[in-house]
Structure 1
Amino acid sequence: MLDRAGARREDGDDDRMSMAADIGTLPAPAAGKTGRAASRVLGRLGTLEVRLARSATEVRAAQELRYRVFFEEMSAKASRRQQASRRDSDSFDRFCDHLLVVETASGTDAIVGTYRLMLPEGAARAGGYYTAGEFRIEELLKRHPDKRFLELGRSCVLKEYRSKRTVELLWQGIWAYVLEHRVDVLFGCASLEGDDPALLAAPLALLGSAAPAPAEWRVGALEGRAVPLPANAVPADAKRALGLLPPLLKGYLRIGGVIGPEAVVDRQFGTVDVLVVLPVDNINARYVTYYGSDAGRRFVA
């Protein structure tokens, strides 16, 4: 989602990453090497906190959470290496920061939600963005050479914590990160569960009609994989179609995100993916006020 944004990978990449993690060589979180954000709590709601992963152990815990949600709860198909390690990992993980929602009530800092964040510096080291495996993202980057992009992906939350509070915390953490790293544009894949576009016609029509990307932010799918979104085709039951969208995708639409004109079917994960682009300048002013122009709304009992 961006809600699983970017949960696709090659088995070879997964094998190399899993072996590196197994022998304790998984690098520290990207921002933890150079930034201030990894050392502080970015937000708190009751007993839940949001912050960046502070160690390779916490990154592995986030990968284990992703495995539980993507492979055990949802319909993704795990490789033998993933089944053995019981972690969702790929070759991009080491070049990203990992945003965590942590439950502090038990005193064990259990990770109940996660989001993967990749800055341009990480993408340069990784050889590109993960989203490029489905969408022609390079066209967008070339169109805006003066903009600083942040790729969001691998989002998931434990079922019992899928609530407004957890989503708010994820957004608080993302907003703090955006300000910390002077990000201009957020982007990533968002997944709708199910790999038959015909059965998802209503939510796809809603996305195509409610938030179509203007030309400057429009990005198509890779050749041979494109599933065009219906344009100007509002579903008969728009309320029901909206209810079929994942919570974080609905959040992107409320805040000011726009949707690319084409979707991609991901057979391995049993999803249909769309591309979301969110220029920071487009973010609805009331959300900036809510979270704080300096991300100052961090601690709520």
Structure 2
Amino acid sequence: METLKQDVGAALLHKGRYVARLAAGAADLRATQALRYRCFVARGGAGDGVDSDIFDAACQHVMIEDHGGALACCFRILPLTSGAEIHTSYAAQFYDLSRLNAFDAPMVEVGRFCISPDAADSDVLRVAWGALARIVDARGVKMLFGCSSFVGVDPTPAREAFAVLRDRHTAPAQWRPRVKSPEFVGFESCGQVGDRLAALRAMPSLLRSYLAMGGWVSDHAVIDRTMNTMHVFTGLEIDAVPPARAAALRALAR
């Protein structure tokens, strides 16, 4: 198994004009929190320019910068030794994840994933997946999970997307999250799919990537008014990734 360099600030991946690295110190963390604020909170018109919470201290923070040092993307990871620790995750605030307690292998929660509005470049997402692939291989991770965020708290524009998730991508029963949050949208009430391509376009790009690799989702979305989002629990079992996709990801990680 490859050993992932754990030094803060260490480069995980160089690809094209971008470098993915682990955050080093308070200034790096604040930069990620500022980008998160810009992407998640500022659209709601509140806050002080920084998005932070109690989970930041427990996580490692991945930064993707261009060669000029501009922050193009960031996300945080919370490594868990197995599903027995899943109650400590961010997602566990919103979902009953007790079925995943039986997942007996390393997991990583991926959270607060955001791409700068100034970085309109598909390579950013590819570099992010390359960095995640390195983390997965280095740590023997068998599941990635997290919350995929839809903008806004009105479910109407997302109903067809939710219906596609219900019809094609619901989690297997043995892992499926149960309802915990008092405010949620059940996918069973979202009607039929009229335009599947439009529904797919309405999904966050990270979620589409998870689904393309065999990922699955909860059967409901949680309404989070603090973040002005509706989020959907998303899981990806590494052993279920199609071999061609896995090879492509490992190629990105080189």
2:71 equivalent in structure 1 = 111
Could you tell me whether the CA contact under 8 Å between 1:228 and 1:261 is conserved in 2?
yes
2:44 equivalent in structure 1 = 75
Query: Which one is further off, 47-56 or 110-119?
Result: 47-56
The alpha-carbon distance between structure 1 residues 177 and 88, as it changes in their structure 2 partners (threshold 3 A), is same
Query: Which one is further off, 53-62 or 35-44?
Result: 35-44
1:161 aligns with 2:119: yes
1:54 equivalent in structure 2 = 24
- Cα distance in structure 1, aligned partners of 2:136 and 2:24: 18
1:140 aligns with 2:99: yes
1:213 aligns with 2:171: yes
Residue identity opposite 1:102 in structure 2: E
Q: Which runs of 5 or more residues in structure 2 are unaligned?
A: none
- Cα distance in structure 2, aligned partners of 1:113 and 1:189: 17
Q: Which runs of 5 or more residues in structure 1 are unaligned?
A: 1-33
The alpha-carbon distance between structure 1 residues 35 and 254, as it changes in their structure 2 partners (threshold 3 A), is closer
Could you tell me whether the CA contact under 8 Å between 1:96 and 1:117 is conserved in 2?
yes
- Cα distance in structure 2, aligned partners of 1:75 and 1:207: 26
The 5 A counterparts of 1:11-30 are none
Give 1:124 deviation, angstroms.
9.6
CA deviations over 1:159-208 (Å, ceiling 9, x no partner): 12143211101101111111111111111111111212233211111111
Could you tell me whether the CA contact under 8 Å between 2:84 and 2:102 is conserved in 1?
no
The 5 A counterparts of 1:1-301 are 36-38=5-7, 40-72=10-42, 74-75=43-44, 77-78=46-47, 83=48, 86-104=49-67, 106=68, 109-120=69-80, 128-137=88-97, 139-144=98-103, 146-222=104-180, 224-230=182-188, 234-292=192-250, 297-298=252-253
Q: Which structure features the higher share of strand residues?
A: 2
Query: Which one is further off, 202-211 or 35-44?
Result: 35-44
Could you tell me whether the CA contact under 8 Å between 1:188 and 1:275 is conserved in 2?
yes
- Cα distance in structure 1, aligned partners of 2:164 and 2:28: 37
- Cα distance in structure 1, aligned partners of 2:85 and 2:205: 31
- Cα distance in structure 2, aligned partners of 1:41 and 1:163: 20
Tell me the TM-score normalised to structure 1 length: 0.76
- Cα distance in structure 2, aligned partners of 1:249 and 1:45: 22
Could you tell me whether the CA contact under 8 Å between 1:209 and 1:234 is conserved in 2?
no
Residue identity opposite 1:132 in structure 2: A
- Cα distance in structure 2, aligned partners of 1:157 and 1:133: 24
- Cα distance in structure 2, aligned partners of 1:206 and 1:125: 31
Residue identity opposite 2:126 in structure 1: E
Could you tell me whether the CA contact under 8 Å between 1:37 and 1:51 is conserved in 2?
no
Cα RMSD over matched residues? 2.5
The alpha-carbon distance between structure 1 residues 76 and 135, as it changes in their structure 2 partners (threshold 3 A), is farther
DSSP-derived class of the 1:161 partner:
coil
CA deviations over 1:3-43 (Å, ceiling 9, x no partner): xxxxxxxxxxxxxxxxxxxxxxxxxxxxxxx9614454222
- Cα distance in structure 1, aligned partners of 2:140 and 2:241: 15
DSSP-derived class of the 1:217 partner:
coil
Residue identity opposite 1:111 in structure 2: L
Could you tell me whether the CA contact under 8 Å between 1:63 and 1:87 is conserved in 2?
yes
DSSP-derived class of the 2:185 partner:
strand
- Cα distance in structure 2, aligned partners of 1:126 and 1:279: 15
Tell me the TM-score normalised to structure 2 length: 0.89
Residue identity opposite 1:142 in structure 2: N
The alpha-carbon distance between structure 1 residues 197 and 100, as it changes in their structure 2 partners (threshold 3 A), is same
Give 1:148 deviation, angstroms.
1.6
The alpha-carbon distance between structure 1 residues 234 and 169, as it changes in their structure 2 partners (threshold 3 A), is farther
TM superposition outliers: structure 1 runs of 4+ over 6 Å: 123-127
Could you tell me whether the CA contact under 8 Å between 2:145 and 2:236 is conserved in 1?
yes
Could you tell me whether the CA contact under 8 Å between 2:213 and 2:245 is conserved in 1?
yes
Residue identity opposite 1:141 in structure 2: L
1:13 equivalent in structure 2 = none
